[in-house]
Chains A and B, each alone.
Chain A
Amino acid sequence: MTESTTAVVTESILTVSDLSASIDGQQVIESVSFEMLPVGVTALLGRNGVGKTSTLRAILGLIERSGEVTVAGERVDREPTHRIVQRGVGYVPEDREVFASLTVAENLRLAERDSSPNRALVAELFPDLTDRAGQLAGTLSGGQQQMVSLARALVNNNQVLLVDEPTKGLAPLIVMDVARALERAAETVPVLLVEQNLQVVRMLAKKAIVLEGGRVVYDGSAEELLGNEALTKELLGVA
């Protein structure tokens, strides 16, 4: 595994140890271990199909897995998904997964777990959603659906956010809107971000973890990784 030479903040909000997972009997990640910064954005990177999405889903228990997962020092891997989320783990899935037959307001209301949800923050970050509260989420554009998906996670006071490819398939202008929303969110809650767009990673991430073949092959500074063209090309296939 490639190690960064720069020391990073060590107190972890999310720790994954020896995490393996399978889907329909096929192993998708193997003995993945890493720690996540308690502040800012940690990027989980890698080529297509290396197990980034599976890692997030395994942390939440959405797929069959073994290994240890702790959130703020407490072990959660024996708990069902809804309990893990109730501990303050917000999730923004790949492909948004908004409830198409529910309105925007219903999507957000469904996500509210706290007695005092952050509706003001959501309204500030995504004013368009306030205007479209009564619209069916299935009729929104891809960018608007991504806003709903992010808003569902941000409406609660989470300890950590797991965000999976939030800019996938979005127009460049919308990509920057999403990046700015994530930057703002990361001021108050640490984010584990799966992202293919390296420009967004450069803008947001302090730390990077790179997976290859279902294993961690880099764990260190995002700046050092992305500043080293040869290493970036070797690990991510792009520069």
Chain B
Amino acid sequence: MSTIVLLLITGLGLGALYFLVASGLSLIYGLMGVLNFAHGSFLTLGAFAGWELARRMGGESWGTLIASLLLGMVVGALVAAATEFLLIRRLYNRHIEQVLVTVGLALATVALFDGIWGTDPIYVTAPPWLSHTTEILGARVPNDRFLLIGAAVLVLLGIVAFLRYTRFGLVIRAGVENRSMVTALGIDVRKAFTVVFAIGGAAAGLGGVLASHYFGYVSPQLGGSLLIFAFIVTVIGGLGSLAGAAIASVAVAILQQFANYFLGGTGDLMVVLLLAVVLLVRPTGILGKKA
């Protein structure tokens, strides 16, 4: 029983991390049709920014952790908005060029991060409570999982509130459904594009700082390794669906944890098989709209 509880909660924690990356990817694809392969770089940069701040402030206080999370969000948002404004804006509806530019940007930024921070993992410090465990139904659950889950829930609620109660949110929801009709109502949908990139970048930047605490280190490859699973989650959840991304994040992470424990470390394989099954049975994903 305790093993099941442990796997479920750690799966939720990992799912929270996937969701922080996948939420931005899904919104960006849903509104703009852009598959952003550079999204992992926003995460990595957020993680390095958080670590830089933490080491300057002294890394073990809650104040430092909160400041580094906020800085990761701000850096992720700014870099993502700049990427949209300077690179992607010229390439809407040119999907091959988008892929080439975002893949190129991802490769170039990893090389840049290698140059600045080196190729070796840099270990991070955090408030001691995060490295302790809490007993739930006999399972000793690492406390950092609760931070991840809490952050992902706050991000989900924040994005939902933004989409539901703001004018930009209304434009984004309508734009995901029918972009050209939004334009035909006299709305400059490009502003919404920049906002969506910024939101996605903020979530990724936050995810980057949290990922550095989850894994215990930050490295230039951090974003790339999470991006693969975030893409899988986005496709399984349904491109453009935030709720789908949330459900798929949890499902994929829990499946991965259980398969790793009970089926001899086959978690990644099971996730790919799940992706294949979803694509065969429901190509639009769990909550994706029909083409």
Chain A contacts to B: CB under 8 angstroms: 60, 62, 80-82, 85-86, 91, 93, 97, 99-102, 106, 109-111, 113, 152, 156
Q: Does any Cβ of A come within 8 Å of B170's Cβ?
A: yes
A24 to B: closest C-beta gap in Å: 12
A82 touches B188 (CB 8 A): yes
Contact of A99 among B178, B183, B186, B189 (CB under 8 A): B178
B174-201 toward A: CB 8 Å interface, digit per residue (1/0)? 1001101111111111000000000000
The smallest beta-carbon distance between B195 and chain A, in angstroms, is: 15
* One of A91, A102, A109 near B184 (C-beta < 8 A): A91
User: What are 12 A-B contacts defined by CB distance under 8 Å?
Assistant: A60-B184, A80-B183, A81-B180, A82-B187, A85-B184, A91-B184, A93-B184, A101-B173, A101-B177, A106-B173, A110-B187, A113-B185
Identify the closest chain A residue to B177 (Cβ).
A99
> Is B171 in contact with chain A by the CB < 8 A criterion?
yes
User: Bound complex: CA of A62 vs CA of B93, how far in Å?
Assistant: 13
Which residues on A sit within 8 Å (CB–CB) of B177? 99-102
Task: State the Cβ distance, B174 to closest chain A Cβ, in Å.
Answer: 5
A54 CB to nearest chain B CB (Å): 14
Are the C-beta atoms of A106 and B184 separated by less than 8 Å? no
**Does B189 contact A82, Cβ atoms closer than 8 Å?**
yes
Nearest Cβ distance between residue A108 and chain B, in whole angstroms? Answer: 10
Contacting A at CB under 8 A, from B197-234, are: none
Bound: A110/B234 CA distance, A: 27
Contact among A62, A97, A110, A152 for B171, CB-based, below 8 A: A110
The smallest beta-carbon distance between B60 and chain A, in angstroms, is: 46
What is the number of residues of chain B that contact chain A, defined by CB distance less than 8 Å?
16
Nearest CB in chain A: distance from B30 CB, A: 11
Give the nearest-CB partner of B176 in chain A.
Answer: A101
Whether A99 contacts B187 in the complex (CB less than 8 A), given A62-B180, A93-B181, A110-B182, comes out as no
B184 touches A62 (CB 8 A): yes
Residues of A within 8 A of B170 (CB): 102, 106, 109-110
Q: How far is the CA of A110 from the CA of B182 in the complex (A)?
A: 8
A216 and B124 CA atoms in complex are apart in Å by 72
Give Cα distance in the complex from A152 to B178, angstroms: 15
The reply to whether B185 and A111 form a contact with Cβ atoms under 8 Å apart is yes
Q: A106-B170, A110-B171 known; 18 other A-B pairs, CB under 8 Å?
A: A60-B184, A62-B183, A80-B183, A82-B183, A82-B186, A82-B188, A82-B189, A85-B186, A91-B185, A93-B181, A97-B178, A99-B177, A99-B178, A100-B177, A102-B177, A106-B173, A110-B187, A113-B186
**Partner of A102 from B173, B180, B186 at Cβ < 8 Å:** B173
- Give Cα distance in the complex from A65 to B185, angstroms: 19
B171 — which chain A residues lie within 8 A by C-beta? 110
Question: Once the chains are docked, how many angstroms separate the CA of A135 from the CA of B248?
Answer: 28
Set of chain B residues within 8 Å of A109, measured between Cβ atoms? 170
Contact B181 A81, beta carbon cutoff 8 Å = no
Complex Cα gap A169–B170 (Å): 29
A99 to B127, CA, bound (A): 47
- How near does chain A come to B14, taking the closest CB pair, in angstroms? 30
Q: When each residue 33-64 of chain B gets 1 if its CB lies under 8 Å from chain A and 0 otherwise, what string results?
A: 00000000000000000000000000000000
Nearest Cβ in chain B — how far from A154, in angstroms?
13
Residues in A neighbouring B182, C-beta threshold 8 A: 110
Considering only CB atoms, which chain B residue lies closest to A62 in the complex?
Answer: B180
Q: Which residues of B contact A62 (CB under 8 A)?
A: 180, 183-184
**CB closest chain-A residue, reference B184:** A91
Residues on B with beta carbons closer than 8 Å to the beta carbon of A106: 170, 173-174
Contact partners of A60 in chain B: CB under 8 A = 184
Closest to B171 in A: A110
Assembly CA distance A156 to B171 (angstroms): 17
Kindly report which residue of chain A lies nearest to residue B175, judged by CB atoms.
A99
Residue of A nearest to B189 (CB): A82
B183 touches A81 (CB 8 A): yes
| A99 surroundings in chain B (CB, below 8 A) | 173-174, 177-178, 181
Least Cβ–Cβ distance between B40 and chain A, in angstroms: 30
Nearest 3 A/B pairs, CB to CB: A85-B186, A86-B186, A81-B183
Chain A residues positioned under 8 Å from B173 (CB to CB): 99, 101-102, 106
**Per-position binary interface string of chain B over residues 154-182, scored 1 when its CB falls under 8 Å from any chain A CB and 0 otherwise:** 00000000000000001101100110111
